[in-house]
Structure 1
Amino acid sequence: MEPTCRKLIELITEQKLGYQNLKELSSQKRQALIAGDLEKLASLTEKEEALILQLGKLENQRQECFLELAAKGGFDETATLQEALPFLPAVCQVQLKELQADFAVLIEKLSQLNEENMSLLEQSLQFVNFTAEALSEQSKPVYDAEQQIKMEQLRNLLDKKV
C-alpha cells in the first residue's frame, strides 16, 4: 500500500506544480489585460489551455491511484482525502496533509486571480461597447437618404469589428 501512497503523493505534487504554473499564467494574464496587450493575452490563453489539459490527465491518474488505495486500504472510494488519511500509512499521512493545506491556499489565490481577471474583462467589454456606441452616435447623418445608407454601412462595419 505504501508504494501506491507514494505514487499518490507524486501525482498530487505534480498537480500542485501545475496549478502554481496556472496561477503564474493568470497573473501574467492580469498584467496583459491591464496593458491591453491582446497578442500576449491570446498567447497566455493558449498556454493556459494546454496546461489545463495536462492537469486533467494528472487528475485522472490521481483518481485511479486513489481508487487503488481505497481497494487496498478498505475505505470508500468516494471518500475525500481527509476521510481517507486515517487508513493510509503514517509516513504518507504527514506529506498528504501538507499537500492538502498547500493546495487549499493555492486554489484560493488562483480563484481570486481568476475573479479579478473576469472583472477586468467585463470592464474592457463595457468600454468597447461604450466606445462603439459613442462612435455610432457621432456618425448619425442629418442629411439625405444616400448619406444615411453610408452611415448604416459604417455602423454595420463597426458591429462586425466589435
Structure 2
Amino acid sequence: MASLIEELITTLEQESEIYEKLVPIEEKKTKIIVKGDLEALQQITEQEQTIVEKIKQLERKRAEVVKNIGTVIGKDPQILRVQTIIEILDKQPNEQQQLSKVHEKLKKTVVRLAEINNHNNSLIQQSLEMIEFNMNFIQSARMFNVNNGYNKGASQSDTPVMGTGIFDTKQ
C-alpha cells in the first residue's frame, strides 16, 4: 500500500502544479475580458483547454490509484476520499503529513481558481448584458425618428416615424 500512497501523493503534486500554472492564465483572462479583446480571449481559451486535458489525465490516474487503495483497505472506492485516506494513515505519520500537505495546497489552489472563474463569469455576463442593452438601444433609435418631436414648421409632432431595422428580414 505504501507505493499506492506514494503514487497518490505524486499524482496530487502534479495536479497541484498544473492548477498553479492555471492561476496566472485565469488572471490574465480577467484582464482580456475587461479589455474586450476577443482574439486574445480565444487564444487564452485554447491554452486553458490544453491544461484542462492534462488535468483530466491526472484525475483519471488519481481515481485509479484511489480505487486501488480502496481495494487494498476494503473500502468502496466510490465513496473513498483523500481526506479519508489521510485519516487512515494515522500509523504512518510521514505519508499522512505529505498527503495532507499536498491535499491542502491543492484545495487552496482550486478555491482560488474558482474565485477567479466566478469573477470572470460575472464579467462576461455583464458584457453580454451591455451588448444586449446597446443592441436594444440602437434598434429603438432606428425605429423612431430622432428629431426631438418637431417638424419643419417648428410645431411639435407626436407621431413616431419608423426607420429601417438592424436586420434584413427579406433574405
TM above 0.5: yes
1:74·1:87 contact (CA, 8 Å) conserved in 2?
A: no
Give the structure 1 partner of residue 99 of structure 2.
96
Give the structure 2 partner of residue 80 of structure 1.
81
The CA RMSD over aligned residues, in Å, is 2.0
Percent identity (aligned): 23
For residue 79 of structure 1, give the secondary structure of its aligned residue in structure 2. Answer: coil
Report the TM-score when normalising by structure 1: 0.83
Does 2:114 align with 1:111? yes
Residues matched between the structures, number = 150
Give the structure 1 partner of residue 2 of structure 2.
2
Give the structure 1 partner of residue 64 of structure 2.
64
* CA distance, structure 1, for counterparts of residue 72 and residue 98 of structure 2: 19
**Structure having the larger proportion of residues in helix:** 1
Give 5+ residue unaligned stretches, structure 2.
146-160
1:33·1:117 contact (CA, 8 Å) conserved in 2?
A: yes
Distance 1:86-1:134 versus aligned 2 partners, 3 A rule: closer
1:57-106 superposed Cα distances (whole Å, 9 cap, x missing partner): 11011110111122223443222111122434432111110111112211
2:66·2:80 contact (CA, 8 Å) conserved in 1?
A: no
Give the structure 2 partner of residue 160 of structure 1.
none
Larger of the two Rg values belongs to structure: 2
| Aligned mate of 1:156, from 159, 162, 167 | 167
Give the structure 1 partner of residue 156 of structure 2.
none
* CA distance, structure 2, for counterparts of residue 18 and residue 120 of structure 1: 25
- Give the C-alpha shift of residue 133 in structure 1: 1.5
Report the TM-score when normalising by structure 2: 0.79
- Give the C-alpha shift of residue 22 in structure 1: 2.2
Distance 1:35-1:91 versus aligned 2 partners, 3 A rule: same
Q: Point out which structure has higher relative CO (alpha carbons under 8 A, 6+ apart).
A: 1
Give 5+ residue unaligned stretches, structure 1.
158-162
- Whichever residue aligns with residue 82 of structure 1, its letter is Q
* CA distance, structure 2, for counterparts of residue 6 and residue 73 of structure 1: 16
